[in-house]
Structure 1
Amino acid sequence: MNPREAVVSILRRWPYVVAGVLVGALAGYLASLLTPPTYRASISMYISAQYPGDNASAAYQGSLLTAQRIASYTQLVESTRVGGQVARNLGLPDSPSQVAEYISASAVPDSVLLNIDVRTNDPQKSVSIANAAADEFSRLVAELERPLDSNRPPIVVARTVEAAVPPAPQVSPNTFLNLVVGAFVGILIGMAVAWWRASLDTTLRSSATLAEVSGAPVLGTIPQDTQVREDSSMVLREGSSITGESLRELRTNLQFVNIESDSKVIAITSCAPGDGKTFTSINLAHALAIAGFRTLLIEADLRRPRISSRLGLESNVGLTTVLTRRAQLSDCLQLVAGALNVLTSGELPPNPSELLGSNSMFSLVEEAKGRFDYVMIDTPPVLAVTDAAQLSPSVDAALLVCRWGETTRNMLGDSVAALRKVDLQLAGCVFNGAPLQRRSYQYGSYYSDAMTPSPDGASAARTTANESQAATTELRGSPPASAAYPSRPTPGPRRS
C-alpha cells in the first residue's frame, strides 16, 4: 500500500478518526473533572551580599558571593527544615516532608532573584505557606550567614520583594489544554485504527488494484448511481445518466479488445453472486445493439436465471430447448426494444455444466457467430460453479465483473486462475458499484442540465432524444436476426 492509497484508505474510514477525536476529547474533559484543582502562590526573594567597603571591588566581591550562594539557597528553601518550621508556625497537620513537597524554588538566570512557588489544593493554604516559607527562609539565611562576630551584620541577606496575596490562582487542571491534547491523541489513535482496518481489508477499491491483481485491463467502471436500480432492465432506455455513459464507455472499450474473430463471443461472468453480471450483460448487450451491432444475448445461467424475469420474456423456451434439439435457434429468439435478440434459459436442466460444455452448445455458438456481430453469454459466477469454465471451447474471451468494496483480492485471483486453467482469455474486467467521484458528479450535472425543460416546455435535449428514438425505431422495425441477416458459411472446427 503506497502512501496515497494509505491516505485514501484512512479518509474513507473517517468515522474511526472522528470517533477517536470525540473519545480523546471526552477523556481529556473527564481527566479535568477528576483531577483535584491545584492553586499556586509565588513570592520573589531578593538576595544581596554586604561586603565591608564602598568601593567597586567590594561590590564585585558581593555579586560573586551572591551568585555562589543562590544555587544552594534553592535547596535550602525546599528542605524539610523550612517545611517543618512552616508547619509549626501555621499549625498545619502536614508533616515537614509533606510541606516541603508543596514548596519549590528556582533561581532567575543572570539575576539575584529567587522565586518560591507553593502548590496545594487550597488557595488560602498556598498563600499562607508561601509567606511563611519566605519569612522562615529569610531568618534561616540570616542565621547561616551571620559572622562569628555577633556584632557584625550577616554577609548575605534575603528580602521579600512582594508578598503573596489571596486568592491564589488555579493552575491545574487546564481543561482547554486537556481537551486539545485528548483530541490530538484521539486523532492519532483513530488514524492508526483506520490504517489497521485498511490493512486488513482486502476488498478491491480502486481500478489500479483491480488491473494489477487480474492482470487484465479495466474496460469500464459502473458507478453506484442512486438514480438507477440494480434490477433495472435497460438503463440506456431510461434517458441520460452517469451509469448510461459508463456503459457506452464499456461498449467502446470492448470494441477494441484484441479478439481474432470476425464476430466476438464474450462470456460475462463474476467472482461471486451479487456482483452485477446480469445487469452488466443486459445493458452492455443493449448498448451494442442500439449502436447498430447485430447482438445476441444468451442467458446461460441455468441455475439462477435472471434475464428473462427482468426483461419480461418467456423463459420456458430457450437455450435448453435448442441444446436438446427440440427447436431451432431462430425459433427461440426474442426481440427486445426492437434491437436486441435474446435467447433465454429455457427449462432449467438437472445437468447445466454438461449441457454448456457439450457439442450442441459449441454448434449453437458457431451458428450464432454466423448471424451476429456480438454474442454475449451471461454465465454463473466462476467461484460458485464450473459452468463458465465449461464454456471455454465456445467463447472467444471472458469479461469479469467485480463489485467495489465486496470482491476481495483472493476471490479475484482465484477467478482469474480458474479461467486460465481452461485457457479462457480474460478480455478485461468491469468495476461495478464504484462510488461516484467529483468528476462524475460534474458530468451528472451536465446530463441533468441537458434534460432540463426549456421555457416553452420542450426538452433542451430534444434533438438528441429524437435521434436516439429514430435509431431505436429503425431497429425495432427490423425483422428478427434470423431473417434480416443472411447466414454466413459455417466455419470449420475451432482450434483448441
Structure 2
Amino acid sequence: MSTTQSAAARLPSVFLQLWWVIVVAGLVGGLAAFGYSSTLTPVFHSTASIYFSMRTASSGSDINQGSAYTQNQMLSFAQLATSAAVLDEVRDDLAATRPGLTLTDLRRMTKVEIPQNTVVLEITTASANPEFAAEVGNSIADNLTQAVYTIAPKDDKGESTVVARVIDPAVPATVQSSPNKSQNAVIGVLIGALLAALALSAWALLDTRVRSRNALAEVTDLPVLGAVPRQKGKPSGPVVLTKPNGHGAEAYRQVRSALKFSAVEHRIGAIAVTSSVAGEGKTTTAVNLALAYVESGQRVLLIDADLRRPTVATTLGLENAVGLTSVLVEAVEAEDAIIESAGGLAVLTAGEQAPNPAELLASNRMRLLVDALRPSYDLVVIDTAPVLSVSDATVISQYVDATIAIINTRKTAKTQVERCIAALTGVRANLAGFVLNNVAEARRDRYYYLSDN
C-alpha cells in the first residue's frame, strides 16, 4: 500500500477521533458569520405592483391584440420606471424630506421586475429606512402610471390607450431583507465545518509520522512489542512504581512478555533500548521495562550508556557522581559504582560527563564490562543514545542480545524509522522490534487501550 493510499485509509478514523474539531469549527464559523452580519447596516425592501391593460376592446380579437401589445411593451415600461422622466418627478415629491436625493441614488435603490407572461410590473426599493423605501416605491409607481398615460398612444377621443393601475402599493417592511443573519449563520456553520474537514484531510494525507501499528507496518515487518499510552500530566516517577495498576504499567509488562516470546530460540540476557531521535521516551521505557522485569522476580541491572545526555539518574532520583564513565576509566570497580534504586532495581548511572563518550563505549573495556556483569543478573538493560544522533547505539547493539527502538507516535517520522532500521541492520544488530510510545487510548473501552487508529 502506498503512503497516499494508507493516508486516505486513515481519513475515517481521523474524522471519528477529531469529529469535535469539525463541530467546533462549524460553531465558530456560524458565530462569526452571525456576528459579522450584525455589524452590517440592515436593508429593508418594499414592493409596489402595477397592472397594465388596454383601455378599449370591442371584440375578443381586440382584447387578444391589446394583451399582446401590452406584453410587448412591458420592457419599455420597465425602462420608463427608472428613466429621468419618472425619477425627476419622484425627486420633486421627496424634495421636502430628502433634498439631496439624486437620480443615481434612486436608480441604485430601485429594481424593476416583470413576472413571466404577465402584464404586471413590480417595483422594489431598498433602504435602511423601511418607511423611506415604501415612500420611494409608491412615488415611482404613481409617477410611472402618470408617465404611461402621457406618452402612450391616444384613441380618437384623445385618451391613452394604455392604462396603468397600482394594484399593490408598497408598505414599510417589518423584517429586514438583508443581511439575513440566520441564513448567514447556517452558511458560516457549513463553511467552518467544511474548512475543518479539508484541513483534517490535508493533515492526515501529509502526516508522515508513525502514529499506529498500521503506519509502522508500511515501513517494516518487525513486530510491535507494545504500545505505551499517553500519560496525562507530568509523571512523578516510573509508572511501574507510582501507578502499578495503571494502563502504562501494564503496557510495559506487555513489552516484557513480548520479549519473552521473541526469545524462544535464544536467551536474552542483555537488551539495548534506543530510538531514532531524541525525546521519544527511550529512557522512560528502559527504566519502566527494567522495573517490570524486577517485578517478575528477576535480578536486573540498568546501565545508562547515554553518556552525552544521561537522564536515568534524574528519572530515578539518584546521584550521578560515580557511574559508567568512572568504571570505564578504571577509577572505581563496577560493584562499587552500582547502586540500588526503588523497587529493587540495580542501576549503573552514566557518571560524570566524559569528553570522549564514543571512544569509551566502543572500547574493549565496555564489551568486557557487559560480559562480566551478565552472570550476576538475569537481565542487563542498557539505555543508549538515539541512533540518528550519534553512533553509540550501533556500537552498544554489538554487546547485547537484542535491541528495541522506541517510536513516539506524535513525533517520529517514517523516514526516521527507516534510517534507524538501516543503521542497526547495517551492523547486524538483533533488532527485536519497536515500542510505540505516547499512544492515544481508545475511549470506547479503556481496557483495550492499544489503538491502531
Structure 2 equivalent of residue 154 of structure 1: 160
* 2:132 paired with 1:128: no
The 1:88/1:378 distance shift into structure 2, 3 A limit, reads same
Q: Distance in 1 between matches of 2:273 and 2:418?
A: 17
* 2:404 paired with 1:399: yes
The 10-residue stretch of structure 1 (337-346 or 348-357) with the greater mean CA deviation from structure 2: 337-346
Structure 2 equivalent of residue 489 of structure 1: none
Q: CA deviation at 1:236?
A: 5.2
The 1:314/1:76 distance shift into structure 2, 3 A limit, reads closer
Q: Distance in 2 between matches of 1:416 and 1:381?
A: 12
Q: Distance in 2 between matches of 1:99 and 1:237?
A: 79
* 2:102 paired with 1:95: yes
Contact kept, 8 Å, 2:85 with 2:147, in 1: the verdict is no
Structure 1 equivalent of residue 58 of structure 2: 53
Q: Distance in 1 between matches of 2:210 and 2:129?
A: 61
Q: CA deviation at 1:242?
A: 0.7
Contact kept, 8 Å, 1:203 with 1:407, in 2: the verdict is yes
Structure 2 equivalent of residue 77 of structure 1: 81
* 2:111 paired with 1:104: yes
Identify the match of residue 359 of structure 1 among 358, 364, 381: 364
Contact kept, 8 Å, 1:266 with 1:376, in 2: the verdict is yes
Q: Which amino acid aligns with 1:225?
A: Q
Q: Distance in 1 between matches of 2:206 and 2:439?
A: 20
Contact kept, 8 Å, 2:47 with 2:171, in 1: the verdict is no
SS at match of 1:44: strand
Identify the match of residue 29 of structure 1 among 35, 60, 64: 35
Name the % identity.
Answer: 35
Q: CA deviation at 1:294?
A: 5.7
The 1:350/1:101 distance shift into structure 2, 3 A limit, reads closer
Identify the match of residue 423 of structure 1 among 424, 428, 453: 428
TM-score with structure 2 setting the length: 0.79
Matches within 5 A, 1:184-199: 184-189=190-195
Q: Which of the pair has the greater relative contact order for Cα pairs under 8 Å at 6+ separation? A: 2
Structure 2 equivalent of residue 286 of structure 1: 291
Q: Which amino acid aligns with 2:397?
A: S
The 10-residue stretch of structure 1 (184-193 or 123-132) with the greater mean CA deviation from structure 2: 184-193
SS at match of 1:209: helix
The 1:6/1:43 distance shift into structure 2, 3 A limit, reads same
Q: Distance in 2 between matches of 1:387 and 1:13?
A: 43
Contact kept, 8 Å, 1:262 with 1:373, in 2: the verdict is no
Count of matched residue pairs: 440
Structure 2 equivalent of residue 485 of structure 1: none
Structure 2 equivalent of residue 209 of structure 1: 215
Q: Distance in 2 between matches of 1:329 and 1:136?
A: 110
The 1:313/1:164 distance shift into structure 2, 3 A limit, reads closer
The 10-residue stretch of structure 1 (9-18 or 295-304) with the greater mean CA deviation from structure 2: 9-18
Identify the match of residue 220 of structure 1 among 220, 226, 232: 226
How big is each residue's C-alpha offset from its partner over 1:315-374, in whole Å with a ceiling of 9 and x where there is no partner?
666645665668776776666678655444466554332232222333343455556554
Structure 2 equivalent of residue 378 of structure 1: 383
Q: Distance in 2 between matches of 1:167 and 1:12?
A: 45
Contact kept, 8 Å, 1:263 with 1:372, in 2: the verdict is no
Q: CA deviation at 1:235?
A: 1.0
* 2:262 paired with 1:262: no
Q: Which amino acid aligns with 1:59?
A: I
Matches within 5 A, 1:290-309: 290-291=295-296, 295-308=300-313
Name stretches of at least 5 consecutive residues in structure 2 with no aligned partner: none
Q: CA deviation at 1:412?
A: 4.1
SS at match of 2:73: helix
Q: CA deviation at 1:379?
A: 1.1
Q: Distance in 2 between matches of 1:70 and 1:271?
A: 80
Q: Which amino acid aligns with 2:102?
A: S
* 2:67 paired with 1:63: yes
Identify the match of residue 170 of structure 1 among 166, 176, 179: 176
